[in-house]
Amino acid sequence: MQPGSLMPAHESRLAAMHYGALGGSTSLIVGGRAYIRASPRAVDCGSVVSRHSVVILEPGAYVDLRVDLEPGSGPLDLSFVELVLGEGSAANVLIGVRAAGPSPSASGLRAALGRGSRLNYALLGSGDRMHRQDDRMVLGPASSLRSGAFLISRRGAGVDRFLGVEHSGEDSSSSASAVGIALDGGYVVVRGLVSIGEGAARSRADFTAGVALLGEGARGHAAPMLEVHTGDVLEARHHSFEAKPGPDRLFYLRSRGLSEPEARDLIITGFAESQLGALEGRLAQEGAELLRDLVQLIGDDA
Q: How far apart are CA 178 and CA 267, in angstroms?
A: 16
Render the burial of 127-141: b for 16+ CB within 10 Å, e for the rest. Answer: bbbbbbbbbbbbbbb
94 band by pLDDT with thresholds 50, 70 and 90:
very high
Q: What is the pLDDT of residue 249?
A: 66
31-89: per-residue pLDDT in tens? Answer: 999 999 987 655 555 566 778 889 999 999 999 999 988 765 566 778 889 999 999 99
Say what angle helices 260-273 and 282-301 make with each other, to 10 degrees: 150
Q: Is 200 exposed, middle or buried (0-12, 13-18, 19+ CB in 10 A)?
A: buried
Whole-prediction pTM value? 0.90
6-29: per-residue pLDDT in tens? Answer: 888 778 777 887 777 776 678 889
